[in-house]
Amino acid sequence: MKNDKKDDMRNPFEGYLENLKKHKQAINSVHEIVNCYYKMNGWEKMPKEFYTGRYSYRKLAAEAKMLYQACDEVLDDSIWALDKMKYLAEKGKFDWSIITCLKHKLK
């Protein structure tokens, strides 16, 4: 029973960066966090006008950098935090951004 609990807490995104490197040229971890955020919300192919203001790449990259540093520069943990926040936002029916991950305790 104890092993089952421990396996449940295992990061499902462990090895994300290594897998990414195998399939395509590695990109900056901060940019990968932003790209994952866009993909999680279905915004990766929006019109150019969409990527301004709140959803501007520059703003989100700054938020992603803070998240990446808060996760001790472990990309797998950063992506996991995004995934958890997406789940909580859908469950609680609230709007979220990358920076929201830093405002919640995502243990």
pTM strictly above 0.95 = no
Looking at mean pLDDT, say which of 3-12, 22-31, 45-54, 62-71 comes out highest.
Answer: 62-71
Mean residue pLDDT across the chain: 82
Residue type, 10: R
pLDDT of residue 21: 55
Q: Quote helix, strand, coil % in the chain, to nearest 5.
A: 65, 0, 35
Tens digit of pLDDT for each residue in 9-29?
676 667 666 665 554 555 688
Write down the domain spans for the chain.
2-103
